[in-house]
Chains A and B, each alone.
Chain A
Amino acid sequence: MTRNRRGRFFSVGGALYFAAFFLAPLSYFYFRAAAEAGPGGFAAALEEVLSSPATWRTLVFSLAQAAASALFCVALALPGALISARRDFPGKKILRSAGMIPFVLPSIIVVIAMIGFYGKNGLLNRLFGTELNLIYNPAGIVLAHGFYNVTLALRIMGEGFAGIDLRYHEIAASLGDGPVRRFLRILLPLGAPAAATAFIIIFLYSFSSFGIVLVFGGVAFSTLEVKTYTEMHVKLNLSTSSVYALLQLVLAVFFMLLAGKLIRRFQFSRPRAPKTTIPPGPAVPPGKKAAALLYFLILGIFIFGPLASLTIRSLRPMGVWSARAFAALFRPEPLGRDIEGIIRSGIPGVILRSLLLSFGSGSAAFLLALALSFALRGRKSPLLEGLLYLPTGMSMVSLGIGLRLLYGETLPLPLLIGAAQVFVAFPVVFRILRTTVEEFHPAYLETAESLGAGKGRALRDVAFPILRRGLLNGLAYSVAIPFTDFTLVMTIGRGEYVTFPVAIYRLIGFRSFDLGMALGVLYILVCLGIFFWIDSTGGSDDTFGGN
């Protein structure tokens, strides 16, 4: 009874937050756009957009590149997720912490890192003495989205696969099933929900991709998000812009609901063995071991190659090895530019502000996701869940402007930015926590209590250890994702609140590429620090987030 009441409290609270800081500002923005155009104007814009062949070309491309990107990530992450869910190997912990880096990079840094590695003047081309055009085409978009998201796929799938009871495998093997048959009959159906989840989240992120497509897509290839931006910021046509944003929203909802249906067909119906340790397992044949090594080598180059090229370039300002770009960040004289005048804040201030903001919005996203996961435990409500995943496919520019218009004069700006950033992190965090909470049986608590443990002790000694892995995983993402935000800080903060991505963008905009890259490397180091700290707090249980 109490649980029901508390559940209702959580769902009502969460729903109110969603309504106040997500639905209301967005609706207000669309309402304003429609009102500006007049009653006939909006209908005309709608008709114009829907009847234009360019819209449909953009739509088809948005879908195709998103599907290709998601498929690429899932395929690339599959062996890694399988291996890491079942075996320990040296460097796994570092891979897990450091591997999160690409996912939390601001898109401007992703672009620079990709160019530094795959570009015509990049590391690969220099290594082989070629000048191949590897990325200024649709393949470049998929490659960049792959770099961005593959570690997310690794985490989600690793977590899902870790929950598969290996005894099924052993039983099948003892019954004489070969590896192919075991894969098809056991791993595929049991691992499908995790793979589908990874696919759909990456699909939605890539579907609403902006920065990457702007640089590598050229004129021929664009997404609905790019169209939304172009109409609003360049053609200054708010009603057409909001039609594109609405179209994207409708499609995102549709895919979310579809995916929810697919995922739920598998989920909650399978028995899971809560596991805390990985059994040593039989010795691995050398051929298999070599293949695994080769795979991790390629994966490592794919993830760390662009990061390495970024670091190398930051240490070679004007083509000579030196640390002066880093020194210049804190002591402006060497390169002759007034750094503080460009960034309009000192670097320590940027770091502190970014940390404060992302810890603030991150903990809010974490609590919101946790509350809603508990409230929804064991329940299926496709409509509500579809709503909760909406922010992934949403135009953040529209959200930022809507929030600013609606609350800009009543709420302090950092609070408003934080409240909006919650939605950037929320979908991923909610996905992780929902799975974690779903697998936690209240029976554990009841048993502990019936054995005489107090409520607090039961929570501390029983609930927390079981939930710990998933909680920390969710916390890591909830803090790291707002760290990357550029759009909301800029549209709401109007340049007064300088965070890492804003500072990097400003340096690069003022042609201080070396300093921008140095600051990018600094950013990566801070992120690494956060991940190592959170992961080491999580103890010694080594999987890609399995519990």
Chain B
Amino acid sequence: MVRHDFLRSAVLAAALAVFAVAGCSRTVKESPQGERVRTPLRVYTYDSFPGELQKALTEHLKNTHDTDLELVRFEDTGGLFNALYLERGKGKVDAFIGLDNSYLARLYAQDLLLPYKPRDLKLAMDKLAVDPLYRVSPYDYGGVALNYDRLKLPDPPKTWEDLFDPRYRGKIVLLNPATSGPGRSFLLFTVAVFGEEGYLDFWRKIKPNLLTVAAGWTEGYGLFTQGEAPMVLSYDTSPAYHREFEKSDRYDNLLFGGRAYLQVEVAGILKDAPNPEMARRLLDYIVSPGFQSLIPLTQFMYPVHPDAALPESFTAVTRAEDYLSLDEEMVSRRLEGWLADWEKVMR
């Protein structure tokens, strides 16, 4: 009996050892074999960059330029920026895809980028030309806006002031501007709408109606779709997702006065890129109509190219008429103060 147990445990231990060795040797087997003349183009992005877009980029580089793509993912945009910053000057990275306008001031201040204006760059709006020096190229955009659940909220608010109504007590989920990209944009939205004197007053008044201020979009939107609250901070494009994949018009956006706050995603070439020429070809492709038409159903953002086709799920959703934005250089100087005051109000 005892001996039997011992044997079983010995087998268990042996299995563990085999597993451990197998686990370690995996990478060796997976490493690329055969010799390739060109070194792969090394591009950094964030973790949720869609697999479909990666496939399109890989195939384009392979077929048109006989070059492999090495896409390295970071847990979020913050991790991506930190990697670009910590590895600067080492000549390890060619390009990045996926920082938004909130990183622009810091990218410029660190002088990390090699300017390039992609061939055939055409933008749907003037506001999308975020950098006159072309250190970054915009490739998609959307508006930060509240969304609501029609089923649970038959009488949605019509104006900003309606949001303060006691009947919405505990019914709104917002995002923390200190930890979330869209949360930051929404804080700037309130500054843009109510001015530096008025934005804190907005937050003071909406505070009793908040269920919680979630740390990130994933958490906040999860609470919303799990039925915890009928209003959430998201994008003007969010309802298109549910129309496309759930065939449902249950969710809709709230665009008070037709306005949303602009969020633009950009790509750029690193100053110390080992292969700047191929990085330029990558950027050319990213802003081309072919790649741009893949954007809506993968990123659920609008493509920047005016000719890129929009699927029906997008055209059925109300679009913001006016995308507000504050000057990022100014924001980078003032944001810390705004955040500190905001935290005083919200805690």
Binding site for B on A (CB under 8 A): 32, 36, 54, 111-112, 115-116, 119-121, 131, 133, 136, 214-216, 218-220, 226, 229-230, 232-236, 238, 313, 318, 335-338, 340-342, 344, 355-357, 359-360, 362-364, 401, 405, 412-415, 418, 460-461, 464-465, 468, 472, 475, 490-491, 494-496, 505-506, 508-511, 513, 537-539
Return chain A residues, CB-CB under 8 Å to B48. Answer: 506, 509-510
Q: B82 and A232: CB pair below 8 A?
A: yes
Q: Is B5 an interface residue (CB 8 A)?
A: yes
* Partner pick for B241 among A214, A235, A511, CB 8 A cutoff: A511
| Bound-state Cα–Cα, A341 to B50, Å | 7
* Partner pick for B226 among A119, A234, A506, CB 8 A cutoff: A119
Q: A494 and B85: CB pair below 8 A?
A: no
Return chain A residues, CB-CB under 8 Å to B347. Answer: 219-220
Q: B346 and A232: CB pair below 8 A?
A: no
Q: A232 and B78: CB pair below 8 A?
A: yes
Q: A338 and B211: CB pair below 8 A?
A: no
Return chain A residues, CB-CB under 8 Å to B285. Answer: none
Q: Quote the shortest CB–CB distance from B10 to chain A (angstroms).
A: 9
Q: A465 and B2: CB pair below 8 A?
A: yes
Q: Who on chain A is nearest to B223 by CB? A: A115
Return chain A residues, CB-CB under 8 Å to B241. Answer: 511
* Partner pick for B245 among A335, A344, A355, A494, CB 8 A cutoff: A335
Q: Helix, strand, loop or mixed for chain B's interface?
A: helix
Q: Is B16 an interface residue (CB 8 A)?
A: yes
Q: Helix, strand, loop or mixed for chain A's interface?
A: helix
Q: Quote the shortest CB–CB distance from B51 to chain A (angstroms).
A: 3
Q: A32 and B86: CB pair below 8 A?
A: yes
Take A464-B9, A494-B74, A506-B47 as given contacts and tell me if A136 and B16 are in contact as well, using a CB distance cutoff of 8 Å.
no
| Bound-state Cα–Cα, A279 to B223, Å | 50
Number of CB contacts from chain A to chain B under 8 A: 175
Q: B82 and A120: CB pair below 8 A?
A: no
| Bound-state Cα–Cα, A281 to B76, Å | 58
Q: Who on chain A is nearest to B212 by CB? A: A136
Q: Is B108 an interface residue (CB 8 A)?
A: no
Q: Is B19 an interface residue (CB 8 A)?
A: yes
Q: Is B333 an interface residue (CB 8 A)?
A: no
Q: Quote the shortest CB–CB distance from A122 to chain B (angstroms).
A: 8
| Bound-state Cα–Cα, A105 to B225, Å | 22
Closest 6 CB pairs of A and B: A233-B78, A495-B73, A341-B51, A121-B227, A360-B23, A360-B20
Q: A360 and B2: CB pair below 8 A?
A: no
Q: B51 and A218: CB pair below 8 A?
A: no
Q: A364 and B218: CB pair below 8 A?
A: no
Return chain A residues, CB-CB under 8 Å to B198. Answer: none
Return chain A residues, CB-CB under 8 Å to B221. Answer: 511
Q: Who on chain A is nearest to B10 by CB? A: A460
Q: Who on chain A is nearest to B8 by CB? A: A537
Q: Quote the shortest CB–CB distance from B11 to chain A (angstroms).
A: 9
Query: How does the 8 Å CB contact mask read for B74-103 relative to A, with 1 for contact and 0 for none?
Result: 111011011001100000000000000000
Q: B5 and A468: CB pair below 8 A?
A: yes
Q: Which of B24-32, B33-41, B59-67, B268-276 sits within the interface?
A: B24-32
Return chain A residues, CB-CB under 8 Å to B213. Answer: 218-219
Q: A120 and B228: CB pair below 8 A?
A: yes
* Partner pick for A356 among B3, B9, B23, CB 8 A cutoff: B23
Q: B20 and A54: CB pair below 8 A?
A: no
Return chain A residues, CB-CB under 8 Å to B331. Answer: none
Return chain A residues, CB-CB under 8 Å to B8. Answer: 537
Take A318-B246, A340-B51 as given contacts and tell me if A54 and B82 are in contact as well, using a CB distance cutoff of 8 Å.
no
Q: Quote the shortest CB–CB distance from B323 to chain A (angstroms).
A: 23
Q: Is B219 an interface residue (CB 8 A)?
A: yes
Q: Quote the shortest CB–CB distance from B7 to chain A (angstroms).
A: 9
Q: Quote the shortest CB–CB distance from A106 to chain B (angstroms).
A: 13
Q: A513 and B226: CB pair below 8 A?
A: yes
* Partner pick for A214 among B170, B219, B244, CB 8 A cutoff: B219
Return chain A residues, CB-CB under 8 Å to B223. Answer: 115, 119
Q: Who on chain A is nearest to B103 by CB? A: A236
Q: Is B330 an interface residue (CB 8 A)?
A: no
| Bound-state Cα–Cα, A36 to B110, Å | 12
Return chain B residues, CB-CB under 8 Å to A508. Answer: 218, 222
| Bound-state Cα–Cα, A506 to B46, Å | 12
Q: B246 and A414: CB pair below 8 A?
A: no
Q: Quote the shortest CB–CB distance from B253 to chain A (angstroms).
A: 15
Return chain A residues, CB-CB under 8 Å to B214. Answer: 215, 218
Return chain A residues, CB-CB under 8 Å to B180. Answer: 234
Q: B51 and A537: CB pair below 8 A?
A: no
Q: A491 and B212: CB pair below 8 A?
A: no
* Residue among A219, A344, A360 with most chain B CB within 10 A: A219
Q: A218 and B212: CB pair below 8 A?
A: yes
Q: Which residues 176-231 in B have Cβ within 8 Å of A in the complex?
A: 176, 178-180, 211-216, 218-219, 221-223, 225-229
Q: Quote the shortest CB–CB distance from B321 to chain A (angstroms).
A: 26
Q: Is B124 an interface residue (CB 8 A)?
A: no
Return chain A residues, CB-CB under 8 Å to B3. Answer: 460-461
Q: A233 and B85: CB pair below 8 A?
A: no
Q: B51 and A360: CB pair below 8 A?
A: no
Q: List 10 A-B contacts (CB under 8 A).
A: A136-B212, A214-B216, A229-B179, A234-B178, A341-B52, A360-B24, A405-B86, A465-B2, A491-B75, A513-B225
Take A54-B343, A412-B27, A506-B47 as given contacts and tell me if A233 and B76 are in contact as well, using a CB distance cutoff of 8 Å.
yes
Return chain A residues, CB-CB under 8 Å to B227. Answer: 120-121
Take A232-B82, A338-B51 as given contacts and tell me if A115 and B228 are in contact as well, using a CB distance cutoff of 8 Å.
yes
